[in-house]
Amino acid sequence: MIQLHTDCLVFETSEGEAIPCSAQDVTVELLGDAAHELEPMLVTEAAEAVLYHFKVDLNRNSVSVGEFTLALERILRGFGFKVMAADDCNDDAAETNLHDLAHQAGEGLEMVFFCTLRDQIHADLHGKPELLRVKGLREAVKKLTGAKQWSPRCQKLNDQIVDYLRHIVSKHQQKAKLTLMIV
pLDDT (tens digit, 9 = 90+) per residue, 16-25?
667 777 766 6
Residues of the chain with pLDDT under 50: 1, 86-90
The pLDDT assigned to 117 comes to 87
Compute CA distances 13 → 42, 64, 88, 158, whole Å. Answer: 25, 6, 18, 39
pLDDT (tens digit, 9 = 90+) per residue, 133-151?
888 888 888 888 888 898 8
The pLDDT assigned to 156 comes to 92
Q: Find, among 161, 141, 165, 164, the residue nearest to 153 by Cα.
A: 141
The structural domains of the chain, with segments of one domain joined by +, span 8-87, 90-182
Q: Which residues contact 179 (CB under 8 A, 6 or more apart)?
A: 82, 130, 131, 132
Whole-model pTM?
0.50
The pLDDT assigned to 32 comes to 54
